[in-house]
Amino acid sequence: MSGALEALYPDLNKHYQHLTQADVSHFLQHGWFVIPNSMNRKYLDRWMEDLWVRMDMDSEDKSTWRTEYQHLPRHREVPAAEFCPEAWQKIVEVCGGGIRTEDRIDASRETWYGDAFIVNLGTDEKAKADYQSPHPSQRDGWHIDDDFFRLFLDSSQVSLTLLHCYTDIPEKGGGTWLAEDGMSYVNQYLYDHREGFDPPFPFMETVCGNIRECKQFAQLTAKKGDIIVTHGRIPHAVSDNLLHFARVIANPHIALKEPFNLDRADGNYSLVEQAILNSIGRTSIPNFTPLRDRMTWYPRNQGTKRNKADAEVARMEAAAVAKGLPKESVNSFYQRKGTKDWEEFERRNGFDKEKPPSGERIEGENKMRGLNGVSWSQKPSAPLAATTSAVVAM
């Protein structure tokens, strides 16, 4: 390790019990790292069994692949530590502590992982040899994940954005684009705009406003069973699946109990905090105070997915019965509405929260509401208005 790197990234030589130095180095220099073959195969294989029934498509007949993307609801979930024990230990270390009362990760939210698949199927058009995929800097739809909270520089509800890889993702196979050098702009923008942003807001006109000038793009590739850990502030966007196969991922997040502390007297920052400081060239940010209250809402983008759940259950039940199995073998939370089990599922996923002021994302909607020129410094408590285009996907 060079002296210059050690000076730039003070966490490089810290002792971690589970993270390797390569993990730490890659996370601090690129904002992401891969944990190979870390998903519990029992769940991976079981949950993938009814993918095509859920999508109501024929895996062998591409004429039935009626959309390029499918965003599916979550029917089953298990605790993170059971789904991916090795990866979970590393994730805990990246965030600076686990889910005990005295630790940092919010135990009540997104600490269970499930089968909310995001499927990039590609299209006939994009599979043609002469199809020209745009350079990532020229794509639209760059964003960071936030559909349920008021975003400030120190907001920690999406500390990490994870990719659970349910299939191989080869080159040109629809792996998510990352703009590694877009993270500095995101964090500087949030530093400069302490009024914060409410979802949905126009990412490309605000925190992702420098994408056209970014140079450091990475297109993720993976093997089935890999988990890719990305910093929650790295802009990402869909890529074209030129191979026209079903690329399947899930996209959970890590939420912390408290906002990031970007002014630690002892300098003992978590890696996720350190990466924010590095990205804007600071060793600390004293006295960061948001100008508005912190808010959390129902996750707006879930509306599209949850609207599909009952029909998916009906198809899965019919498929189970056809195989001589009981309907209960489907094992979906949507079969247990009204039970305590259901209530806990709802709470863990934020579905018990109030709808955001801008409403729930609806089926088929492909637009995000935007600021429309309203300056928050002029109108700090005004509601969002107007529309601008931004697709949220992976």
For Fe ion, the binding residues (CB under 5 A) are 145, 394
CB of 234 to Fe ion, least distance (A): 10
- In this structure, are residues 209 and 188 in contact, taking their beta carbons and an 8 Å threshold? no
CB of 169 to Fe ion, least distance (A): 15
Phi-psi domain of 324 (left: phi exceeds 0; alpha: psi -120 through 50; beta: other): left
Name the residue among 231, 260, 283 with its Cα closest to residue 97: 260
Q: Which residue is nearest to Fe ion (CB)?
A: 145
* E strands present in 169-318: 177-179, 217-219, 227-231, 236-237, 247-250, 253-254
- In this structure, are residues 146 and 199 in contact, taking their beta carbons and an 8 Å threshold? yes
- Is the CB of 57 or the CB of 121 nearer to Fe ion? 121
- In this structure, are residues 94 and 26 in contact, taking their beta carbons and an 8 Å threshold? no
CB of 261 to Fe ion, least distance (A): 25
- Is the CB of 231 or the CB of 269 nearer to Fe ion? 231
CB of 163 to Fe ion, least distance (A): 10
The runs of H, that is alpha helices, within 193-339 are 271-279, 302-306, 309-322
- Is the CB of 110 or the CB of 195 nearer to Fe ion? 110
- Is the CB of 106 or the CB of 145 nearer to Fe ion? 145
Q: Hey, what amino acid is at 287?
A: N
Beta strands 118-120 and 69-71 are antiparallel
**207-229 burial by CB neighbour count: b if 16+ within 10 A, else e?**
bbbbbeebeebbbbbbebbbbbb
Burial class (CB in 10 A: 0-12, 13-18, 19+), 16: middle
- Is the CB of 19 or the CB of 218 nearer to Fe ion? 218
For the record, the structure tokens of 267 come out as 């300098």
- Is the CB of 145 or the CB of 360 nearer to Fe ion? 145
- Is the CB of 237 or the CB of 320 nearer to Fe ion? 237
CB of 177 to Fe ion, least distance (A): 11
In angstroms, the Cα distances linking 372 to 202, 212, 297, 376, 391 are 9, 21, 22, 11, 17
CB of 326 to Fe ion, least distance (A): 37
- Is the CB of 254 or the CB of 394 nearer to Fe ion? 394
CB of 309 to Fe ion, least distance (A): 21
- Sign of the four-CA dihedral 97, 102, 106, 108: positive
DSSP secondary structure code for residue 213 in this structure: G
- In this structure, are residues 116 and 217 in contact, taking their beta carbons and an 8 Å threshold? no
CB of 269 to Fe ion, least distance (A): 25
